[in-house]
């Protein structure tokens, strides 16, 4: 069976897959997870071979872009092998990754050679002490070294992603922006989402809207809304005098569901149809139907048809919208790290 395009019940063409290759991480960002968090055991997460198989199946069904994420994708053993396999699959236009940057000082060149064209690097502060407070890890310099290394290589595009929390790091809006522009990178500011229960802070109190971000930055830069889209949810602004852009990701204030073209594969093999809802389809069971364990790549082709059917069935579950309310307890109990940001 081959299908040329995946269309959901609301007529949206789905051609972008995000894959969380692990729920594990070497950081513990306060807005993402608590210090003590339980991770999935090895047999419950998809093998790299299974991930590659799902990715190739999606590509055969019309997927043009894949983003590798996590948890921290670059801490997964042999991840470069999987990246190379996926990047070199005919039909894929772009393989990108989202990373916390901790491994870029030693992996940037290999990622480029493996076929990664764009990297989003998460960085919420330029102050070492604050970095420790936000990530609970002492790796600020390692991340900065990684950014410097990556920015000297010919990636198609590098972008900084910053989650903005009122009274935690919003005084660094200008410094983070200037850092990105000076390094010839774009930067996106993200509104915090109520994914998973965290104990560090009250999300309603730290909420900072994208409009406030743009108002503040408008005092320093001449900003013009840009028509650029990168198939993600970011709305971009052109910065006068600079080649690179400022973006905002606004899951609360500017719901981006109308143009949603994405689905997500979680580390445990659930196909998640929406970040803010729990509708999902268990693809791991389909993959392992004929074997109780993760199977090698060359012996899982026999159930491609079943996998394609499962993916098509799953799309029927894609909801029209997400609803987030910071005043209520989180409705979605999975963390962003388990979802694949
Ligand atoms: N570990 C990698 C990283 O941090 O880039 C990839 C996974 S992380 C879950 C992906 C993105 O989600 C990061 O930019 C992170 O800042 C963001 N994120 C995590 N939890 C979030 C939340 N509750 N609300 C908004 N963004 C969040
Ligand atoms: Fe790890 Fe990324 Fe979550 Fe931070 S945001 S704890 S780096 S998965």
The tokens for 72 are: 């921290």
pLDDT of 292 reads 47
First to last CA, the chain: 30
The answer to whether the CB of 51 falls within 8 A of the CB of 296 is: no
- Using a 6 Å CB cutoff, which residues line ligand 1? 25, 31-32, 69-70, 72, 98-100, 122, 161, 163, 190, 192-193, 195, 336-337, 341
Q: Is the pLDDT of residue 333 over 60?
A: no
Mean pLDDT of 256-265: 80
Residue 31 predicted with pLDDT over 50: yes
Residue 127 lies in a domain: yes
Decide which of 20 and 293 is more confident.
20
Give the β-pairing of 16-20 and 270-272: unpaired
Q: Per the domain annotation, does 285 fall within a domain? A: yes
**Where do we find the tokens 């993959």?**
287
The atom number, within ligand 2, closest to the CA of 335 reads 3
Number of domains in the chain: 1
Write the Ramachandran bin of 265: left for phi over 0, alpha for psi from -120 to 50, otherwise beta: beta
User: Is ligand 2 within 6 A of the CB of residue 16?
Assistant: no
| Dist. CA 9–CA 203, nearest whole Å | 33
Q: Is 100 in the pocket of ligand 2 (CB under 6 A)?
A: yes
- pLDDT score recorded for residue 206: 87
pLDDT of 291 reads 60
pLDDT at residue 227 greater than cutoff 60? yes
22 pLDDT band (50/70/90 cuts)? very high
- Establish if 314 belongs to a structural domain: yes
Assess if residue 24 is contained within a domain: yes
pLDDT of residue 221: 96
Section 143-157 average pLDDT = 97
Q: Is 70 in the pocket of ligand 2 (CB under 6 A)?
A: yes
Question: What is the reported pLDDT for 198?
Answer: 72
Q: Does 232 map to a domain?
A: no
Q: Is the pLDDT of residue 270 over 60?
A: yes
Q: What percent of the chain has pLDDT over 90?
A: 63
What's the pLDDT tens digit per position in 163-177? 999 999 999 999 999
The parent domain of residue 68 ranges over 6-159+262-339
Q: Would you say the CB of residue 30 lies under 6 angstroms from ligand 2? A: no
Residue 304 pLDDT level (bands cut at 50, 70, 90): confident
CATH number at residue 109: 3.20.20.70
On whether residue 169 sits in a domain, the answer given is no
- Lowest mean per-residue pLDDT among 37-46, 233-242, 313-322: 313-322
- Return the axis-axis angle of helices 79-87 and 48-60, rounded to nearest 10°: 10
Is pLDDT above 90 for 254? Answer: no
* pLDDT at 340 > cutoff 80: no
Residue 117 near residue 155, CB atoms below 8 Å: yes
* Residue 187 belongs to some domain of the structure: no
pTM: 0.90
Ligand 2 pocket residue status of 337, Cβ below 6 Å: yes
Residue-wise DSSP of 263-303: EEE-TTSEEES-TTS--EEEHHHHHTTT-SS---GGG-GGG
How many beta carbons lie within 10 A of that of residue 82, not counting itself? 23
Which residue has the least CA distance to atom 10 on ligand 1?
Answer: 341
Could you tell me if residue 293 is inside a domain? yes
| Helix, strand, coil % in the chain, rounded to nearest 5 | 35, 20, 50
β-pairing verdict for 235-239 and 6-7 = unpaired
pLDDT tens by residue, 77-134: 999 999 999 999 999 999 999 999 999 999 999 999 999 999 999 999 999 999 999 9
- The atom of ligand 1 lying closest to the CA of 33 is 20
């Amino acid at each position: 069976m081959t299908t040329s395009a995946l269309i959901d019940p609301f007529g949206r063409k789905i051609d972008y897959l995000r894959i969380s290759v692990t729920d594990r991480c070497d950081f513990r960002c306060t807005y993402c997870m608590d210090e003590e968090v339980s991770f999935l055991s090895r047999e419950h997460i998809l093998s790299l071979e299974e991930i590659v198989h799902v990715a190739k199946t999606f590509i055969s069904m019309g997927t043009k872009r894949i983003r590798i994420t996590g948890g921290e994708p670059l801490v997964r053993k042999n991840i470069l092998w999987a990246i190379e396999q996926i990047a070199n699959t005919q039909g894929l236009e772009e393989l990108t990754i989202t990373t916390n940057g901790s491994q870029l000082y030693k992996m940037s060149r290999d990622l480029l050679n493996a076929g990664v064209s764009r990297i989003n690097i998460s960085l919420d502060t330029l102050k070492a002490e604050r970095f420790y407070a936000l990530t609970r890890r002492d790796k600020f310099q390692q991340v900065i070294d990684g950014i410097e290394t990556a920015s000297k290589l010919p990636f198609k595009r590098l972008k900084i992603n910053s989650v903005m929390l009122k009274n935690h790091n919003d005084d660094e809006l200008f410094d983070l922006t200037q850092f990105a522009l000076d390094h010839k990178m774009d930067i996106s500011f993200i509104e915090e989402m109520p994914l998973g229960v965290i104990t560090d802070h009250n999300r309603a109190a730290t909420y900072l809207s994208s409009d406030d971000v743009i108002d503040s930055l408008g005092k320093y830069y001449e900003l013009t809304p840009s028509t650029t889209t990168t198939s993600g949810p970011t709305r971009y602004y052109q910065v006068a005098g600079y080649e690179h852009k400022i973006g905002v990701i606004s899951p609360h204030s500017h719901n981006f569901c109308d143009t949603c073209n994405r689905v997500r594969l979680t580390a445990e093999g659930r196909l998640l149809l929406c970040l803010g809802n729990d509708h999902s389809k268990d693809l791991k069971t389909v993959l392992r139907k004929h074997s109780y364990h993760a199977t090698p790549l060359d012996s899982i082709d026999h159930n491609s048809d079943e996998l394609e059917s499962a993916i098509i069935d799953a799309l029927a579950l894609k909801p029209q919208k997400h609803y987030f309310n910071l005043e209520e307890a989180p409705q979605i109990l999975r963390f962003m790290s388990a979802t694949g940001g």
